[in-house]
Chains A and B, each alone.
Chain A
Amino acid sequence: MDISVPGRIGIALPPLDVPEQPLPDAGKLREELSLPEVSQGEVIRYFTNLSQLNFSVDTNYYPLGSCTMKYNPKINNELASLPGFTEIHPLQDIETTQGALELMYDLQNLLANIVGMEHAGLSTVAGAHGELTGMLMIRAYHDSKKDYRRSIVLVPDSAHGTNPASAAMAGYTVMSIPSDKNGNMDIEILKSHCTEETAGIMLTLPNTLGLFDPNIVEICNYVHECGGLVYGDGANMNALLGRAHMSTIGFDVLHLNLHKTFSTPHGGGGPGAGPVLCNDRLASFLPTPIIAKNNDLYSLETPSASIGKIGGFHGNFGILVRAYAYIRSMGKQGMLDISENAVINANYILARLKDDYYLPYDRNCMHEVIFSAKPQRSKGVRALDIAKRLIDYGIHPPTMYFPLIVEEALMIEPTESESKDTLDYFISVMQEIAQEVESNPQILKDAPHNTPNTRLDEAKAARQPNLRW
């Protein structure tokens, strides 16, 4: 921190109120402690000024595919800041934390009900953490059957990168399954890969093309028939809130991203929460703790065949409080309204932009739409340039180059919390950019123009790492 001046302090601390105790010999003690010395006003100005260099949901439209950048209600932060929630220690006796446990118990049930699963555990703190946990539960299930041959996990080629990485961390070999020309999983190839070595499959529903695979029940059946289990990546659950019973469809275990579907702030990259939900078959393998209720006493319990502890304590409680508040404020009808508006908004963008950008899968989408900038590419402009040009218009870039199977992909997820007016503005900007591709492609390649930095040299950053002062 280059504003540090020796002698300044940011906070006054009280003098010691107990008698000084003998110190250990100097050999144990630290000689040098290099930390900033700044006054409090400077600290506040430092962070406030830095914050203004960011785009955020509070300031900008964020059509970031697969990330569900919806509005984060302020009341939920305030509720999570109540001293009865922030000032409780994870190891307090449960008699002193009944309110927290009741909230978590209710949240387990609410989440299970909303997506149609039977059980929930809340101790996983991120989507990828939930994925790892789900795959460990699948491993524990096969081990409990003494079925040790199952070493392969099937992952569609459209999957999020975390899926294969999580399967590998759970000790599995990953086999990729291609998509067909309609964006669905290629059933024939899937069938040929379902064997006695298949531990399971990891699926995202709707898939990362924003499409609900109409063969999903059949796919789950094939995997089950060969003895494998089905994992669901809940990243796209905003499309299905209250509309699909995931366990009946055939999912054995899935995770939810509370920082996507359930509106908790992204924080610039966490903290989020990734609760794991499962059916009866896998309930006894959930990580510890889960919350139980007996005779009106809520308690922390370990399932009988639990995979064990997956993190330090009981999960990201502060995030759970926010998600609980969100669900309670939206209620039953609210869940259906979320998915309905999210899907209408995405299809509206699809309908309005399909003449300006290439639509690789020309069918209605769910909560997000994937365009390809392939035609623009032939004019020397890449998806990246289009995305960076959006910044000049105050819009955060969409997700780019994902899923990997779509060339020059632009993945747009409007979410339900954006108005038609905002979508119309976005559409008009995208149309204008399509014109600029013809008339002035250089303006796209030089974009963004009004940000604190122009495009940054990422190759230099990786070649000559400068990671600290």
Chain B
Amino acid sequence: MAISNSSPYIPNTSDEKIAMLKTIGVNAADELFKDIPAGFGNDLSSLPSGLSEIELYREMQILSERNMNQSQLASFLGGGAYRHFIPSVVRHVTGIGELATAYTPYQPEVSQGTLQITYEFQSLVSQLMEMDVSNAGMYDGATSTAEAALMACRIKGRNSICVLDTVSPTQLEVIRTYTEPQGLTVYTTDHKDPRIGQDTACLIIQHPNFYGYLEQMEDLKAITQQNDVLMIVSTDPIFLGMFKSPGTLGADIAVAEGQPLGISLSYGGPYVGLFTCKTEFLRQMPGRIVGKTVDTTGKEGYVLTLQTREQHIRREKATSNICTSEALICTAIVAYLACIGKNGLKHIAESTYHKAHYTASLISEIPGYSLPTNELFFREFVVECPVNPKTIKATLLNKGILAGIDVSDRFNNGLMISVTEMNTKEEIERLAKELSKIKP
């Protein structure tokens, strides 16, 4: 009887391997590895043995259950990743093997599915942002902002990047990691009274800002014009279902974290960065771009285009080293927007708005709690608490509530609370009730 293979993922049997080695002209497979110098081999002795699917499933299910997931908790956590509704259709579409297991569409004749979906993605994102053009996607929102800063420095031929002090600390740190090694300078400025310094290429605005509040966009637009710097707006796609878009507000480059559009939280990734700009800056854009063209018979089709910006053509002179567009996540976003549709996105944005404001009004009535500002917000806002927010978070976690994010570095005992359409009235009222039990 023939010996069975050990892995279902490797088809060749030992007999087939022997036949192939004979064709190759060697006696044993080891001869094919003879270029690896002696003494530099690896020892896998501490690696565990392989598992069958039954064993693997059992182990990983236990591991997964060691996490408390969002449906087991009342979650008011935001800060850049949000729990919004995901239609079943989205998961179905991303599970289609012909989409999930395809390669980057360098061969357009056998990639029209991926290419057309990407064209659709670019169209939908451009529409949502009301910007001229969109690329095919970046790693995530934070790296989109960092790449936008690099792009602005290239366009303007300047070396400084001005960031409002209300931009998320994470985004700011990623901007620094990406830009400072190239000799560029990053500095922050007061969002209420921005001062643009010398040699500055752009002003980076997060709108709504990290704390959830809308910025004074008309004033900021005027300041960017007076100082001849590009206006980069990092925004939120669900917010755009209800509020004015970056395009309308005058952005030169607009970016966003795409996760809220039907992408699961998944502990921080995979997500996708949305990246749009004015047509005049198209050739300085990083990332993949899909365009519509025709084939030799005149029939319409899609291709990757403007590739002379990219690393595989331009090498060290490319606009970026990026080589992915998080395509399957973009596919999920197209499925989400197609399914949710025009009225659905507005409904979700408005539900989010009303629930967030309802939550804020309940909490502001609790003695000891107050809202630090009357600025307009969308789904996130800050509450000043009677005690340290760390205490509140720990106490509420014991009640099955993720209360929010500690922002006491900027607000006195500040707790940042995020509310979406997924938070029920009961959860919101339970949050308020538990907060009211905490005494200074």
Contacts and interface: CB of A to CB of B under 8 A. Distances in A.
Given A271-B326, A311-B143, A337-B7, 13 more contacts: A28-B244, A56-B102, A59-B97, A97-B267, A113-B44, A161-B312, A169-B178, A265-B328, A266-B101, A269-B326, A270-B137, A419-B16, A468-B134
Nearest to B75: A89
Interface in A400-429: 402, 416-420
B335 A47 contact: yes
Interface string B227-245: 0000000000000111111
B221 interface: no
Given A309-B142, A456-B294, A84 B117 contact: no
Interface in A1-46: 1, 8-11, 13, 16-24, 28-30, 33-38, 40, 43-44, 46
B50 interface: yes
Interface in B289-332: 289-297, 299, 301-303, 305-308, 310-318, 320-329, 331
B133 A341 contact: no
Given A136-B181, A352-B23, A467-B133, A309 B173 contact: yes
Given A71-B9, A419-B12, A467-B133, A332 B50 contact: yes
Given A54-B114, A212-B35, A165 B315 contact: yes
Given A92-B402, A344-B21, A351-B25, A53 B297 contact: no
B29 A53 contact: no
A35 B110 contact: no
Contact of B44 (A265, A317, A332): A332
A329 interface: yes
Pick from A336, A347, A352 the residue with the most CB of B within 10 Å. Answer: A347
B294 A457 contact: yes
B224 to A, nearest CB: 19
Nearest to B147: A169
Given A268-B103, A308-B173, A310-B174, A169 B320 contact: yes
B337 A36 contact: yes
A388 interface: yes
B35 A37 contact: no
A454 B295 contact: yes
Contact of A87 (B116, B265, B324): B265
Which of B96, B313, B315, B340 has the largest number of chain A CB atoms within 10 A? Answer: B315
A245 B112 contact: no
Given A165-B320, A311-B142, A417-B11, A10 B354 contact: no
Contact of A44 (B42, B89, B103): B89
Nearest to B35: A212
Given A11-B344, A21-B361, A457-B295, A341 B177 contact: no
Given A18-B358, A54-B110, A136-B177, A90 B126 contact: no
On chain A, which size bracket covers the interface? 35 or more
A43 B90 CA distance: 10
B37 interface: yes
A33 B59 contact: no
A339 B89 CA distance: 38
A381 B32 CA distance: 33
Contacts of B51: 328-329, 331
B264 A10 contact: no
Contacts of A337: 6-7, 10
Interface in B104-155: 104-105, 107-114, 116-120, 122-124, 126-128, 133-134, 136-137, 139-143, 150
Contacts of B39: 248
A451 B259 CA distance: 34
B103 A266 contact: yes
Given A18-B428, A314-B269, A467 B119 contact: yes
6 contacts: A16-B354, A58-B97, A81-B91, A268-B105, A268-B113, A335-B47
B6 to A, nearest CB: 6
Given A13-B347, A35-B341, A391-B107, A316 B142 contact: no
Nearest to B56: A329
A467 B290 contact: yes
A329 B117 contact: no
A240 B37 CA distance: 12
Contacts of A10: 87, 89, 338-341, 344
B98 A54 contact: yes
A388 B98 contact: no
Interface stretch (B65-73, B156-164, B194-202): B65-73
